[in-house]
Amino acid sequence: MFLFANSVPDRERKLHASGLLLGALGDFLIGQFENGIVTGAIAFGIGHIFYLATFARRLQKPTYALVGGILTYGIILNHFCLIPQLGSHPINTSILLVYSLLLSSCVVISGSMYIEGTADQPPQQKENLVRFLGFSTFAVSDSTLILDHVGYRVPYVELIILCTYFTAQFVIMWSACLAPESKQKTLRSGVRRSARRKVA
């Protein structure tokens, strides 16, 4: 990402590359250590903050139906998977709850940008759709991981987690590469509208 995505601005390229490296670190921690899901969540969480820094400031307004849906889903999942662990493992569980909130914010913000548009783009832009799909897939991966971690039986759990995780990271990187193209199209569209107004 950092070396080859030359069309992406330098700041965004560095942030995405850092997020990707932290994701790799989190994946390593989860796979190598017994309690790696907690330290892995810290690494992933910092990575998501880097990702958010590339697009969240362009949010125009949240989509309240999406906020309600994600909030409901998170409450149900955390009620069954994390809240029961809060008494015996308060610090670890609190870290996972904060991570859950952070990832949910990524899904809500990216989805709202696609549905509502951004400060500099109209609604339903491909870049924002791809980013939303990436973070949604990340949420599926992490939901499957936490269900398995607390003892729920999930068929083909490792295959689901790995496939959705790598797909999510690829799609998020793809959205970053689409961003310059999307901005150029928006700029050209604005120039054409301005020209038509002058002619009229």
Please, which residues have CB within 8 angstroms of residue 9's CB and are 6 or more apart in sequence?
180
**Does any domain span residue 48?**
yes
In a domain, 134, yes or no: yes
pLDDT of residue 119: 87
Indicate whether 36 belongs to any domain: yes
Residue 2 lies in a domain: no
Inter-residue contact 1 to 17 (CB < 8 Å): yes
The residue ranges of the chain whose pLDDT is under 70 are: 1-7, 180-200
Which domain range does residue 70 map to?
8-198
Q: What is the pLDDT of residue 9?
A: 82
Domain membership flag for residue 163: yes
Residue 105 within a domain: yes
Asked if 132 and 111 count as a contact pair (C-beta separation under 8 A), the reply is yes
Rg (CA), the chain: 19
Indicate the pTM of the whole model: 0.86
Q: Give the total number of structural domains in the chain.
A: 1
- Tens digits of residue pLDDT in 150-159: 999 999 999 9
> How far, in Å, CA of 120 to CA of 130, rounded?
17
Q: Taking a C-beta distance cutoff of 8 angstroms, is the pair 109, 56 a contact?
A: yes
SS3 call for 59: strand
Instruction: Supply the pLDDT for residue 181.
Output: 61
